[in-house]
Structure 1
Amino acid sequence: MTVNELCDVVRETSFAIHKYHRNGHLEKIYENALAHRLRKLGVKVEQQFPLTVYDEDGTVIGEYFADLFVEDCLIVELKACRNTAEEHVAQLLGYLKSSRIHDGLLINFGAPRLYIKKYVMD
């Protein structure tokens, strides 16, 4: 499965979760639901997965924990807030750059309308 196909699966699954659970739950509920449903589809998902952060010269300077790390190639950052903010985008872009992962999705379940946006680091 290509990363674009994988993103489509995550999007479709997120829409189904939002349709059923709606907004109003804590972020962890959506994290567990998305991980559960993706695993049922046969997709490899790791929750709170530690990703190494590298400095520009390749030195390891720490780690952070991705909400979901899907098929060893896609970081999924989840939110459960009224609106996404620039800080949320900056957080995901920082994760992508520092961990040298190419693709990420920012998903907000907290609003009446589901928000999903893909980000790519070149």
Structure 2
Amino acid sequence: MNTIKPWSSVFELCDIVRETGFAIHEYLRNGHLEKVYENALLHRLRKQGVAVVAQHPLSVRDEDGTVLGEFFADLFVENVLLVELKAVRHIVDEHAAQLLGYLRCSRVEHGLLINFGGPRYYIKKYILADALD
């Protein structure tokens, strides 16, 4: 049985996540823990028929394949998009570096960094090619 996806490209999927995150920020505003926003985005995306996994484990490997450590992507959307969530006053370079590191290690092509903690909703898209430079 073919399931019709609510999106046709990763760019459309990014739009769905962006719009859903914005609606959550409008409703909840800032001031909650990151986990609240993670649960809200997980819930609302699933309601739209988007496959999402929370706290998805990904491994950091050495060149010979030895696992050096694990990290957990806040959300892994449709197996093509890593989403790193923050609930901080301001995004700093280390937050972007964290997501770029996740993209490098996982070889996932696309990532979104979203901050719900400021008075304004913040979202920025990153692409694996940016992380390899």
TM-score, normalized by length of structure 2? 0.88
Matched residue, 1:109: 116
SS in 2 for 1:33: helix
Unaligned 5+ segments in structure 2 are: 1-7
1:1-122 equivalences under 5 Å are 1-122=8-129
The answer (yes or no) to whether the contact 1:55–1:98 under 8 Å persists in 2 is no
Tell me how far 1:57 sits from its aligned partner: 4.8
Q: Give identity over the alignment, percent.
A: 70
Q: Aligned pair count?
A: 122
CA RMSD of aligned residues (A): 1.0
**In 2, Cα distance between equivalents of 1:53 and 1:101:** 13
SS in 1 for 2:16: helix
The structure with the largest alpha-carbon Rg is 2
SS in 1 for 2:21: helix
**In 2, Cα distance between equivalents of 1:112 and 1:56:** 42
**In 2, Cα distance between equivalents of 1:116 and 1:26:** 17
